[in-house]
Structure formats: C-alpha cells, structure tokens
Structure 1
Amino acid sequence: MSEATLAGLKVDREILTESVRANYDFIVCGGGAAGCVVARRLAENPEVSVLLIEAGGSDRVPSVVDSTQWMWNIGTERDWGFKAEPSPTVNGRTPLLPMGKVLGGGSSVNGSVWARGHKHDFDNWAEAAGDAAWNYESVLAIYRRVEDWQGPKDAHRRGTGGLLNILQPENPIPLVAGLIEGAKAIGIPYVDDMNGAAMEGEGGCGLPNVLVQDGNQRVSMAATYIHPYMDRPNLAVLLCAEITRLEISGKRVTGVSFVRRGRSYTVSADKEVVLSLGAINTPKLLMLSGIGDEQHLRAHGIKVVQHLPGVGKNFQDHILLAGCCFEYITPEPPRNNAAEFVFIAKSDPSLKTPDLMPVLEETPFGSEVTAQQFDLPVGPASAWTLAPGLARPDSRGEVRLASANPFDKALIHANFLGTETDMRAMVRCVEMCREIGNSIFCTPYRKREVMPGPLQGLEMENFIRNAAGTYFHQSCTAKMGRDDMSVVDGALKVYGIEGLRIADASIMPQITTGNTMAPTVIIGERAAEIIAAHHGFAAVAKAS
C-alpha cells in the first residue's frame, strides 16, 4: 500500500482521546463486523450515547488496507492467536483458528469475500427463532439496503446505493478462466453472480463478490460504518481495551469492566449492553460473568447468575483443507483479494442444500504437516491452491473456560471432521478439486500437481486429517432458538438476563453456506433494528 494511499486516510481513523465516561446509553463490546454495524446504527440517533470497545488496535496499517495482504495478518498482533485443542479427528493436531483483533475484526483481516448465504440458511434461522423477520425474503431486504452492488443487475436480489461497495474481482489472474472451464466440465455451471439465483438453488462457480475499491483497497466494516462517524459526539470508540466481565445486578446487566493499558475501568450502560465479541470470546465472557452451564461454572469457582447450558456449545466452522496445490509453469503474483474463484456444489445430489465451497488461494497453501510432507514451492507467486472447503459440517464442537482468569484463552474443542459424513464430503471435494486442477483447461498454468496426488482410501483420509483447518468462520456458540440449548431468542436477548443482547456469528443456529462476514453484517443490522424499535428510534435510511 502506497504512502499516498495511507496519507489519504482520514485522520479520524485514529483514536486520540483517553477519556472514558462513567456511563453511556449503549455499550457495544467488540468492534468486529457486527459490532461496527450495531454501534454505527445506534449512533445515527444523536439523542443516545454509544461506547464501542475493541480489544485490538487501529486498522490504519498497510496489511489491513491492502486486501491482497490479508494472509500476512495471521499470527500478528491483529490476530487473537487461538488454536484448537488436540483432536484425534485431525491426527492430534492443534489447527490455528485466526480471529481478527483489530478495529473491524475479521472484516479487516479476512479475504474480503462477500458471500450472502443460501436461501435455506435463513429460512432455517427463522424456523429456529420462530420469527419470520429472519427468513430469506426479510434478509434480502436488508442486503438490498446496505449494498452498492457493481455487478450484473438483479433488482430483486441485489441493492445499489448502500454503504458497502461490492464488486467482482477486476482483471483476475488468467488461471481463473481455466478453473471456470474445468468446473463446467464436471457439471458445475458458471454463474455471473455467486450471490444471485445460485444461492437459492444448486450453486455454481465463478468470481466471488468482494469488498474492495480503488484497486486493492479493503472495504471493511470499520472503514465503512465507523470511520465516518468517529467525529460524532455521541459515539466513543475505545481501542486496546479488553473486557473482563459483565457487571450484573440481580438478573440485569448494568455495564462492563475492562482493562486498557494496565488500568481497570467499569462503565455503566443505562439502556443495554450488546456482545459482539465473536464465537469464541462471547461465550467466554458470558461464562466468566456467571452465565452458562452451572456445572462448568462451579468447577471454576464462578457464581452462577443464569444456567444456560448452551453457552459455548454447538461450535461450528467451515473446514478448509490446505490442498490441492499446483506449481505454476510461469510464476503469477496474486491479484485483487488473492482468492478470485469459488464454487458451491453438492457432495451428494440428494442433499437439499449445497455443502461444498472450495476457494482459490493464489499462493502455495499447506498445513504445518502437509507443507513439510509435500515440500511446497516457496514464494507467493510460485503455486496456486484450489482449497477444498466444507460449507455445511455435521461436526459440532465446544468452547470452554480454561480458568476464571479473563486473560486465559478459552479452550476450543473444534472437533473438525468429527463425523463420517464430513469425511465423505471432504473426500468428494478433494476429488472434484483435483479433477478441475488437473483438467486440460488448467494445463497452461500447471507445471505439476504438488499435492495430494491420486491417494485412495485411508491414505486420502489421512491426508485430509493432516490438511484440515479453519475457514476463519467460527460460529454458533450462543445460538438463537427456542430449545433448551438456545442462548438468545429471536430478538437476540439472552435468556433470563435483562439489558443484554448478542449480535455476532455466535447466534447462528447453523453456519451459513458461504463465508460468514455478510451474514454477520446482517446480524448487526437486525440487532440495530430490533434495539431501535424497542427504544423507539427511527428506522435507518436506505443508503445511510
């Protein structure tokens, strides 16, 4: 990212004040994709005060602003540095679980893919919540309002004039045309919009929707929702502040406590607290504050405020394999978001909803095991990877406390590939990716197949267990619903607790079919609508 581009960023992207008031009307905990949306929408009412608290620092750094550099944020101070607990389902490995720790959260460090989810996803959410406002047609109305779609016209499904600049990658690497033809050859049709009719039916292949502008400049939720509002007197944005507990009086949340630069604070919320800490830290904070499974809380000496056994349960993540990798004949540097091809398909024709979602990684991509085993080429332009991905895993994991110390990371039992159905789907996905990558259409861009090669049976399953990791889409650990394991209702209120809602990917009853940033923005928009209606605010304008 050039110095000129960085210099052109507004000064108000930096937080200069150290002052923290004793109370605000609303406290939004977590400045990720949903938290930025909620804070902005609430602050659009000048009569209320809003505090947004983010544990990470500023997003005004080149590796955030330049969308092609997203992978280089992994393992830095902009990543929480989570790992899954060892599991036999991945041969005892502890896969990394990167999660954004920076203003904008995952939207500041991810691959910038805007994947809205399948029709069935939202209809299932509405059924779980008992609330039609979560169904597909209702969600489409929100998408139309927030999008400024630059692609093929589709008045029913796509919006223009909204906050979010969404387009298809411009001038993608030549390989993409070969991948499209290779996918078509095995029965996956090309579609001109991966978020159009394809996500109401059988899927397809093509260019992903991406959140970029002016070449490679990232369009994050921080840049879009928060930066233009940082000069508003009713919005305070506090960076580098880690929340340690919810303050609770009886059954009502009254505020939060946090630590910032070695100093402890407690701030009150006169109206509500909204948790948007993500699917790992949201259940962690609930449990630290006495909301969760009573047996687990008591084991850590935590006083039980509300027994909710579903807190931390139902962990889901899309599984992404570090393979299939092919060495280039002629090196090709990544362009745009470095992930310019995707397909959505079914591993079994009898399935109601597509369950596979491979993505192109325009670099060599291996796990800590497979990278050594297969001697991956060196350098980001040396190879490309069609990474198999599982969109609808049957495996379920869990987030648990390591201790009552708020600075100890939670224990994450991801349970990747914990079911036979997930393994069968991934085997089929690898087969499809290999067939596309080895097709005649990709011959000009393929010197050799680096991995996995024509493995069969247990050898292929072993490769998959060694290659399996996260798609960066941790979700579902405080699910919305009406059963005994649900944590929030359709209005995102935590059961049994007043003054507390959750708005992030943890409330998903089931993970969506596709990258989770766009549905998480929808959750933030829905939360703001619900809160505004509850407190008598005016609805947001279409393009505001």
Structure 2
Amino acid sequence: MTNPNASADHPSAHAGVDDTDYDFIVCGSGTSGSVVARRLAEHPDLRVLLLEAGGTDEVPAIIDSTAWPILRRSEQNWLFRAAPNPNLNGRTIPMAMGKVLGGGASINVMAWARGHQADWDDLARMTEDDGWSYDSVLQIYRRVEDWHGEPDPRRRGQGGLLFVQPAPHAHPIAAAGLDAFARAGVPTFADHNGAMMEGDGGAALTNVCVRDGRRQSVYRAYVHPYRDRANLTVLPDALVTRLIFDGAAVTGVEYLRYGELVRVRATREVVLSLGAIHTPKLLMQSGVGDDADLRRFGIDVKQHLPGVGRNFQDHFMAPCVWEAAGPIDGRNNLGEITAMWKSDSRLDRPDLQSFLTELPYASPEAAGGNLPMHGWSLTTAVLRPESRGRVRLTGPHPLDPVAIDANFLDDPADLRTLKLCIEFCRDVGNSAPLRPFAKREFLPGPVGNAALEQFMRNGTVSHSHQSCTAKMGHDAWSVVDTRMRVYGVDRLRIADASILPRIVTGNTMAPCVVIGERAAQMLAADHGF
C-alpha cells in the first residue's frame, strides 16, 4: 500500500515450543492486544502468539481495585517520564503505562467510558467508514458488555465478556458529589455511558470494571479463559525489539526474553498493540518513520512515514484537593462519580471532566510535598486539548529510552480551559452538599490569577491516556489507513490508541476495546476466516 496523499499466563507454559511459525503475532497484551488475540484464537486453525514485555498480573495491588495508587510506582509500570516542559516550570511529569499482562487495564482506575457520540461520528466521517460511527460502535459495546446497571436495551448489553456496573455501595461522599454537581448545573444521570454520552454531558456514578472489590481487566476477560488453548501462546517477559522485513513485508519479530534474543515468523500478519509510546518507538527502531530522524541514528529506512510519533495527545489535569476531618473509606475504584460538562455552550460535546477521588491527589510540586493525611480531590481534566506533542527516539538500540515530549499547555487555549475547569470544581467542592466532608480546601485555595497560573503549571499531571501517535487517515501525516494497515508496509497492522486522529472524550480503555474488536473484524475479512 501507499499513502494516497503523501495460552498460558506463566513463562513455562509454552517455553518448550520449537515451532516458531505463527499465523499472527500480536505484540502487547494491553486492552486492544488482548481483544485481538482472543478473537483470532477463537478460530482453532489459527496459531496465535501474544507477546508481553511485563510479567504476571497475579499481584495483590492489581487484584485489589482500590490499590491502584501503589501501581503508580510499581514494577508493573513502565515508569515513563515526559521530557522537561517549560510550560510546566520545567517539570518532568510521570506517564503511567502498564508493563504487565493486561497492560494499562491492569494498573489503571478501571473507569469504563465509551467516548462521546460525536467522537465516533467524527471518526466515521474522517475515514469514510460507517463501521466507526456511533450507531455501529454501540452494537460492539452491546455485544461485549455484561452490564449490571439500570436496563437500557438500546445502549447496554448483557452476557458479554466484560463485567461493567455503576459503582456499587458507593461512599456517602459520592451522593454528596452528585448533588453538588447538580446544584452547579450539571444534570445527574443513572448511567455514565447512556444518554449522558450523547448530549451536553452530566454527572453519574462511574461505570467500573470492578466486581466484589476485584479488578476485572480486559486481559482477564478475553485472554485468561483461553490460556490453555493449544493454538494460543502467551509469552510474558518478552520485549519486542524489532520487526523483521522481507522487502516491504513484515515477516516476523525479534523479542528479548531472559537475556536471549529470539526470532519468530508470522505467516499472515503482525499486529502492534504496544500503546502510543512503544508502538511508534518500535516502528522507528525498525526503520519506519521520518527518514531524516532515522538516518540520524544510523537506522536503515524501510518506509518514510513522517507522522510516526507525532500528534501525541493525552488528557491532563491539575486536581483540586480538600482536607477531610477524618478518614475517607475509599471504595470500588476510589473514583466513584464522574462529571462532564462544557466550557462553552457552543461546543458540540463536553470538553471538561472531573472524578471525585476518595484520596488527596496532586503533584509533589503543587502540594509542596505534604498532602493532608485524610482528604479527597476533584480532578480537572481537559478532554479536548489543542496542544500536540511527540514521541522520539534517543538512540538506535531497543533498550535506549524513548523521549516523550507531551507538550502540555503549549497552546494558550488549554491553559484557559484548564482554569475554567479548576474554578468550576472549586465552586462544586466548596458547595453545601460537600461541606460535611471538608475540613478546608487544600489546593489551590482562594488565590489570585498569578498564583492560580503557577498552580496550574506546577500541578498539571497526565491522565495516562496517551494516544494518537500513529494516526489513521489519508493525509501526509497519517501512519495507517482506515483498516489500520501501515502505509507502505505489507502484513503490518496497528491496533491501539495510537491510531486515533484525536483523543476521545473520556477515559480510553473502552474505546481501545472497540479498536481491538474492529481490528479483529478487519483481519477476519481480509484473510477470509
């Protein structure tokens, strides 16, 4: 193609396999990768290899849905840090990404957010593919969900692989938060993902993939039940280091496992589901990217695609924090309600979001190193950022670190929008319904404009929704076509959040399930199974 405009859970399970030919190799066991691997393995005649750089997800902090703050600094996290950002007073902020079976869905907050109707309809128009439309995507969601909330047959499904419910037995602060947002003009809904995601926004109990206090990851739902299938091999602790080419076609991959470099062949296709940081890194180190950048590191250019690593987008926030008089007994995912609203009534979808988190949550620079012992927060996410960043190589070797220029607050519009979000959340947090839970406002407090700007620059952190670095489209900066195939490269497809041209309105786990499901449909159609 050319751009028209420019198994088992444990390492020992299959360690003795001598045959290194597979029909499909899926790189990355995160949300999209787990979906693709499962759907392929449902065909018993296909041999599927799923490679994951991290290890087992049988970790207490992963199983316990309230323990995700521990995972922010654990070995199950790649512990990326963005490059120093002058817009954030030179800070290098953390960028969480899962390094474990299940990827991000094994370390995240387990909020199930489908994306706004306008997000999907935009994607359908851009790709000229009605399969990406909201109505089409809604059918995918209905098929994959096992919904345990208020019945809504048009929008919600039951009996699917993924357990989803509104946060059950929520802490009393959740009800108070819903009341507070309602009094501020954000209407309350019974379902975070029903009609609320088709209009101007609202507030609701968060949809969570949590059951009896235990994380229900996409990997556990899709891949774990297939771990003993003879046609599915799951290899943890396997870092994919390079794509193998034969001319313009990808014929396999190299991976590093326990100090040994291994080559495996794919007779049909390789699918990259490594996420918006590692997918462009692997492409570039394999010779797919901007030719000038690749030659600078002595990398043999296989395909010049200048958009690889560009267009980086993420949701960012500078949370507001209140000190509580006593302990807040956090439940479910510690973020039991969410609200979405517009900074400007003329917008066609919400552009601001807040979770009421049942713990004090802020950057060390904003908190001065001393968060209150007991407290809660309102996050302040900008959902439609204008700033764009970039992922770059720092060297030619697969173990060379990747450089992430997140570029938060580069566009002045983002600073203005973040300020509006913070001011709104301060009003909500200080209102009568939440007053019984607040001893005092800890951050940012009633400060002037100059101090508030410094709070934003010191307090802005990533929502860990990294996206858009190998975007789908038709222009010169596009990396994949509308069937997720890499331009100019045969037998290589990308299925993860990096293909999005623009980040979705809300958390990214659920949209990544859709991306995986659509990739599996396309693979089946293209290969005739």
TM-score (ref. length: structure 2):
0.97
The answer to whether 1:430 aligns with 2:422 is: yes
Q: Which amino acid aligns with 2:114?
A: R
Cα distance between partner residues in 2 of 1:144 and 1:366: 36
The CA deviation at 1:464 is 0.6
CA displacement 1:329-386 (0-9 Å, x = unmatched): 231221111111110101111211110011122111120201216x3113xxx10011
CA displacement 1:253-281 (0-9 Å, x = unmatched): 00000100001100000000000000000
* Structure 2 unaligned regions, length at least 5: 1-6
Residue in structure 1 matching 2:508, options 516, 529, 532: 516
CA contact 2:8–2:234 (8 Å) conserved in 1: no
Cα distance between partner residues in 2 of 1:318 and 1:366: 15
Residue aligning to 2:201? 203
The answer to whether 1:363 aligns with 2:359 is: yes
Residue aligning to 1:5? none
Q: Which amino acid aligns with 1:345?
A: W
Residue aligning to 2:166? 168
Q: Detail structure 1 runs of 4+ shifted over 6 Å in the superposition.
A: none
The CA deviation at 1:456 is 2.7
Cα distance between partner residues in 2 of 1:158 and 1:418: 39
Q: Secondary structure at the match of 2:159?
A: coil
Size of the alignment, in residue pairs? 521
CA displacement 1:202-229 (0-9 Å, x = unmatched): 000111100011x111110111011100
Cα distance between partner residues in 1 of 2:273 and 2:82: 21
Residue aligning to 2:3? none
The answer to whether 1:377 aligns with 2:375 is: no
The CA deviation at 1:13 is 4.0
Residue aligning to 2:332? 336
Q: Which amino acid aligns with 2:221?
A: T
CA contact 1:128–1:509 (8 Å) conserved in 2: no
The answer to whether 1:501 aligns with 2:499 is: no
CA contact 1:148–1:161 (8 Å) conserved in 2: yes
Q: Secondary structure at the match of 1:421?
A: helix
Identity of aligned residues (%): 51
Cα distance between partner residues in 1 of 2:87 and 2:205: 32
Q: What are the equivalent positions in structure 2 for 1:229-378 lying under 5 Å apart?
A: 229-321=226-318, 323-372=319-368, 375-378=370-373
* Structure 1 unaligned regions, length at least 5: 1-10, 538-544
The CA deviation at 1:536 is 1.3
The answer to whether 1:450 aligns with 2:463 is: no
The CA deviation at 1:12 is 5.7
TM-score (ref. length: structure 1):
0.94
CA contact 2:22–2:266 (8 Å) conserved in 1: yes
Cα distance between partner residues in 1 of 2:118 and 2:303: 32
Residue in structure 1 matching 2:90, options 84, 89, 92: 92
The answer to whether 1:33 aligns with 2:25 is: no
Q: Which amino acid aligns with 2:521?
A: E
Cα distance between partner residues in 2 of 1:119 and 1:276: 24
Cα distance between partner residues in 2 of 1:187 and 1:110: 29
Cα distance between partner residues in 1 of 2:235 and 2:317: 34
Residue aligning to 1:439? 431
Residue aligning to 1:386? 378
The CA deviation at 1:16 is 2.5
CA displacement 1:27-86 (0-9 Å, x = unmatched): 000010110110000000000000000000000111111111112111211001101001
Cα distance between partner residues in 2 of 1:500 and 1:520: 18
CA displacement 1:59-116 (0-9 Å, x = unmatched): 0111111111112111211001101001111110000001000000011110000000
Q: Secondary structure at the match of 1:441?
A: helix
CA contact 1:34–1:521 (8 Å) conserved in 2: yes
CA displacement 1:411-467 (0-9 Å, x = unmatched): 000011111111111101001111111001111101111110112322211111111
Q: Which amino acid aligns with 1:107?
A: A
